[in-house]
Every structure is written in structure tokens, then in C-alpha cells.
Amino acid sequence: MKYVPRLVLFLAVPALLISLPWWTLVAAPTQGAGSLFWLGSALFALAFCCLPAAMYLGHGPAQSDAASIVGDTLLGVLWVVFSWSVLGNLARLGLAVAGVDDPARSRIVAAGVLAASTVLTVWGVVEARRVPRVRTLEVSIPGLGPALDGLRLVVVTDTHFAALDRLRWSERVVEVVNAQRPDIACHAGDLADGSVAKRHAQVDPLGKVEAELGRFYITGNHEYFGDAPGWIDHMSSLGWQPLRNQHVTVRRGDDHLVIAGIDDPTGVGLTGHGPDLPTALAGADPDAPVVLLAHQPKQITDAVAAGVALQISGHTHGGQIWPFHYLVRLEQPVVAGLSRHGDTQLYTSRGTGFWGPQLRVFAPSEITVLVLRPR
């Protein structure tokens, strides 16, 4: 019985995502009769059966890559169609006010929703699978010494190497990162979904990233859904330094900067894991500015209290598929971009890869170059 509420939710989400598009695209325009009604209803019924089954087989104990690809893709497509069905039915009210009667009104709405959903799905797949655009911005850091003026900190995050083999994409991301001439390279978590044995080939190109002053990695929440200790060890073997509630002081000339990193909060359930900012900053020069790697933007509260100059986060994906960013904003203080919180600045990356559905709609991926400047 304890699993009943979870099962109800597991089936309720697909039912919601499917019922409104079914009514918008099938039931209303056909007025519930004819061969198109029955054919469309059968397709939506099949989707309702496939989605929970594929998600369970792909992300449950079986960890089937084929099922994961099917389930994730279907989830993304249904979210797009559902979102535009909502907008289509709002437009239906306008058509009703304008005096357009059914079935013409419902057929206009159905045609518009189908066209918009098709275009955005195709575009979303292209956006998700492309090598991310480079986003460069200057960030002023109080107390940054002149020898560190112009330091280039390149950020990748949320690569989420998973069931789809993106080895070539990974290699091209590394090429783009190296072309930015990073002084420091950072991976802000959510490296991969799955075990080191299954995903390391896609991750291994990161070992070729070149950064004179260091390459630093922190865990995201998804490492803790799989094998966090394994990924920490593997990134270390590739020459990246995991920052697990610790800091490193980087120097250029007579000036220095503290680079600190903390675990993701999801790690609390694993012995010896979980964020601990006081430990991370213990022994750091109090006169040196601190750049903190923390996977989730909501960790900014502790960063502000600790006097951190800049926190770098990912996790949100910028919402990934519009309008999901409105739901993300309910949990996180920021969805994307540079923001100020007291005396601390926060940069939230939209992420370099994607999770689950291979779609990005109105939330493009990025490789970020933060050029640090003295204030």
C-alpha cells in the first residue's frame, strides 16, 4: 500500500500530459466521431501505455538505454504538445469571441497546435544535439589583484552523458573549450547518468581540456542517483581535481584567488558526502576573493553568509523545454544568467548538455567564459 500514492502519481502525470492534447487534436476537431477520431484516440492510448512503461524500464532497476531513449523522447514531445495545447485553448476563447463556431474553431486550433508543436520539436532536437554556443561575459570581483585581471574561467556543466552516445559531441565540446584559452576550467556537476563502466567513453575526452591554472570538478545531484564515488575517482584519473568541500588557491604573480567547491545537497544520504562550506573555506586566505562551485543556485544563501565573491552553478538547464522554467523557478532563486545576492554574485549556466528528452526549446545550451575583472 505504501507504493500506491507513488503509482497514482506515476500514472497521473502521463494522463494529464495526454488528455488535453487528445481533446485538442482529436476529440474536439472530429466531434468525437469518425475514423480520424478512433485512429487518433488509439495513438494517444498507445502513448499513455508506452510512456510509463518506457520510463520505468529506462530509469528503474533495469536501466535499459533503449527504453530510456524512447521514454525520454516521448516525454519531451508530449510536454511540447501539452504546453501548446494550453495556449491553443486560450486562443479558442478568442476565436469564440470573434464569432468562429465549431467545428471550424476546433479545427483551426488543432492545426495551429500541431504545426507549432512539430516545428518546435524538430528545432528543439537540433538545439539539444548541437555543440553549445559560447557565452562570454565579464564579471567584476572585489579584491581581485591586477595580475589576475582578465583571468578566463571556462565553465561546462550538466553534460548528462547518458543513453544516447554523444562521444563525437563530447570531443567537439573539448575543442571549443580549448579554443577559449581557459586559465581555469570548471565542470559544475551532473557529469553523467549511469555507471562509469557504461558512460566513461563519452566522458574521457574531458581529459584533453587544457587549463594552465587548473581543472576543477564538483558533484551534481545526478551523480548521487548513480555512482558518485566512481565518477569522482574517474574525473581525478583524467586530471580534473574534484573539490569536495575544499578549496585551492591559484596564483599569478603576487596575486591569488581561492577556488572552492562543495558537494551537492543530494549527497547528504551518502556517508561522507553533502555540502559543507565552512570546511571548504577552512584555512583560506581571508583577504583573497573566493569563487565557489556549487551545483544548485539555491546554495547561494550559504555563499552570501560566507562572503563568497562569485558562485557558479548549473542544475536548472534554463528550464530546457519552455515553459518548464516557470516550475524550475519555484525551487531555485535563479533560472539562468548573472545575478546579485547581497554582496555575492551568482552565475547560473543553462547547461552544456541536456537531461532526458533530447530537446531544448527557448533555453539554448552554453559553454561559458567568465572573464574576471577587478572592481
Q: Examine the domain organization and report whether 49 and 79 are in the same domain.
A: yes
Q: Are residues 223 and 358 in the same domain?
A: yes
Is residue 7's pLDDT more than 80? no
Please, what is the end-to-end C-alpha distance for the chain in angstroms? 59
The whole-number pLDDT of residue 2 equals 67
Please check whether residues 325 and 310 belong to one and the same domain.
yes
Per residue in 115-127, pLDDT (tens digit) is 999 999 999 999 9
Same domain, 265 and 355: yes
Tally Cβ neighbours within 10 Å of residue 35.
8
Q: What is the mean pLDDT of residues 186-212?
A: 97
If asked whether residues 369 and 342 sit together in one domain, one would say: yes
Q: What is the mean pLDDT of residues 230-256?
A: 97
Q: What is the mean pLDDT of residues 30-36?
A: 94
User: Looking at the structure, do residues 140 and 167 belong to the same domain, yes or no?
Assistant: yes
Average pLDDT value for residue range 125-148: 97
Cell of residue 370, nine digits: 567568465
Given 103, 129, 155, the domain boundary residue is 129
88 DSSP β-pair partners: none
- Mean pLDDT, the chain, integer: 96
Percent of the chain with pLDDT over 70: 99
Task: Choose the final residue of a domain: 129, 152, 182.
Answer: 129
CA distances from 150 to 197, 261, 275, 307 (A): 39, 22, 30, 22
pLDDT (average), residues 228-240? 97
Residue given cell 578566463 in the structure block: 152
End-of-domain residue from the set 129, 161, 185: 129
Kindly tell me if the per-residue pLDDT of 1 is higher than 80: no
Domains contained in the chain, number: 2
pLDDT at 79 over 80: yes
In this structure, the answer to whether residues 150 and 49 fall within a common structural domain is no
Residues 7 and 40 in one domain: yes
Domain identity same for 46 and 175: no
Does the structure show a pLDDT above 90 at 360?
A: yes
Shared domain check, 238 and 191: yes
Q: Once rounded to an integer, what is the mean pLDDT over residues 86-104? A: 94
pLDDT band of 11, cuts 50, 70, 90: confident
Q: What is the pLDDT, as a whole number, of residue 269?
A: 85
pLDDT given for residue 348 in this prediction: 98
Distance CA 109, CA 139 (A): 46
Q: Is the model's pLDDT at 8 over the cut of 90?
A: no
Residue 338: per-residue pLDDT: 98
183 and 318 share one domain: yes
For residues 180 and 218, is the Cβ–Cβ distance under 8 A? no
Q: Are residues 10 and 145 in the same domain?
A: no
Supply the range of the domain harboring residue 331. 133-374
Give residue 13's pLDDT.
87
CATH number of the domain bearing residue 319: 3.60.21.10
pLDDT value at position 256?
95
